[in-house]
Amino acid sequence: MKIVASQAHHLHAPSWELSVGKFLPAFEKPERIEIVLKSLEASQLDQVITPRSYGEDTALAVHDADYLAFLKIAHAEFQELGLEGDPTACVWPRGRMRADSSGSIVAKFGRYCFDGCVPITETTFEAVLASRDIALSAAKLVYEGDRAAFALCRPPGHHAGPNYAGGYCFLNNAAIAAQWLRDAGAKRVAILDIDYHHGNGTQEIFFDRSDVVFASIHGDPQFEYPFYAGHADEVGEGEGHGFNLNLPLPAGTAYTEWSEALC
Neighbours of 49 (CB within 10 A): 16
Q: Over the range 76-98, which residues count as b (16 or more CB within 10 Å of their CB) and which as e?
A: ebbeeeeeeebbbbeeeeeeeee
| C-alpha to C-alpha distances, 240 to 19, 140, 177, nearest whole angstrom | 33, 25, 19
3-state SS of the chain: helix, strand, coil percent to 5?
35, 15, 50
Which residues form the catalytic set? Answer: 159
| C-alpha to C-alpha distances, 173 to 25, 55, 92, 226, nearest whole angstrom | 25, 14, 25, 18
